Amino acid sequence: MNELVRQHTALDDSDLEWLHMLVSEWQLLSDLSFADLVLWVPTMDGTRYVSVAQMRPNTGPTSYQNDMVGHLVPRGRRPMLDAALDEGRIVREGDPEWREEVPVRVESIPVRRQGRVLGVIARNTNLLTVRTPSRLELTYLQSASDLAQMIAAGSFPFPDQQVDMDASPRVGDGLIRLDADGIVQYASPNALSAYHRLGLAADLVGHHLGETTAELAPSRAPVDEALVKLASGWAPREFEIEAHDGVIQFRAIPLKPKGTRIGSLVLLRDVTELRRRERELITKDATIREIHHRVKNNLQTVAALLRLQARRIESERGREALEEAVRRVGSIAIVHETLSQNLDERVEFDEIADRVLAMVAEISPGKVTGRRSGRFGILDAEVATPLSMVLTEVLQNALEHGFREGETGTVEVSAVRGGTSREARLLVTVQDDGVGLPDDFDAHSSGNLGLQIVRTLVEGELGGTFDMVPAPECGTRVVLDIPVQTHK
């Protein structure tokens, strides 16, 4: 819609924002009308109309089989659009149109904002299935007429209320029509069922909805007065009520077709099962985070015990082996600590890489500087945990064997994500400017424990490739190529 409005019309950004608000709400008008809606806006030169949005009803058959968005029609071809735009009134005159052997009643509703008519909504009702209307249908149509008058007057949608239509109750979920005093004139079967879920044993018609709702709510505090006003539809609001193991979501819409409130529409939906599942997910997420937190604590305890043991060992090689084990356990603990702070099983790995780099740099025999370039991005836990161990081993190997006591140098970790959404790859390079590799060195046959761990994790668990080669000028380069999932 943005592109069509800016390309063909003279409307400014504030006008466009109003149209967006209208389009976010007009599913309600379409369902109440049992009709298709098409929004027509005059072009800059005023000689044509362009259709910028379209909505089909959930409550009846469509009048348009094809998409109308983007169509241009010259002024004069559809007199009802001209009359609604020029006169600023709802136009209902004229005989039904026939489209593909289907009779369609067409009405035009001007869209007004701050005294100006921005465009016209064409309301198209398929008359092929018209029958004697029921009480529900009559209530729908009367409510649609009131909303149409509010649109024509510029009082709907409500500018101070942003509604998420995907989460809000819809017409078919349950509808209650109130008079100006908040007395129920009509309640749809779904609405009545929702109130029965709250514990109501009687009918709703003829009762004050706000008072009835407050009596069903568990609280008897002064807040009930606010609940009475909310449920009576005095202001456009969304709220929820929980009682008798039922949770009902409400949306109140005051009806002011001629500037004075004549009543309200209350849409409601039984969200009991939805809220129950949400609570289960919250409990599950909290449990998972607590597990990660405890695993992290246990790993830190294991690392502390290994560190104590290392201090008591006289053998230099034994002490070094235990210190290596401490770092391996610590790298896994870092991942679990990050996972304990997240709502899902994914982590931002750049922070983990920086912490691993800092942890391993503590063992540097010289003054070696570590740095990171590029981004690892978000990784799943099953990738992050082995990758943190691999990074620990590679960095530890570079610092221990690449530099002698007192030497200065640099170790750089770079990460590049590429490939397609179906075959995304993570290319990790660890390069140092140390002494380099022996002439007869083969990374794939080396008996070094650290390199054996790297090979096993990269090739076996991560399904990637690993190589260690001399750097172009001096030092050593380790290249990891790992398949990963793309996360936005």
Task: For 116-142, write each residue's pLDDT tens digit.
Answer: 999 999 999 988 876 678 899 999 999
pLDDT for the residue 364: 63
3-class secondary structure, 103: strand
pLDDT in tens, 373-410: 999 888 888 888 888 888 888 888 887 777 777 677 88
Residue 289 burial (CB count, 10 A) = 15
Q: Are strands 116-126 and 102-113 parallel, antiparallel or unpaired?
A: antiparallel
- The confidence band for 63, taking pLDDT boundaries of 50, 70 and 90, is confident
Quote the tokens at residue 413. 């970790």
Q: 418-456, pLDDT tens digit by residue?
A: 876 667 889 999 988 888 887 777 777 776 777 888 888
Q: Which of 173-177, 183-187, 335-339, 477-481 has the lowest mean pLDDT?
A: 335-339
Around Cβ 218, how many Cβ atoms within 10 Å?
Answer: 10
Contacts of 429 (CB under 8 A, 6+ apart): 412, 413, 414, 415, 477, 478, 479, 480
Name, in order, each residue with C-beta under 8 angstroms of 296's C-beta and a sequence gap of 6 or more: 333, 336, 337, 340
Does the pLDDT at position 276 exceed 90? no
Q: Which amino acid is at 33?
A: S
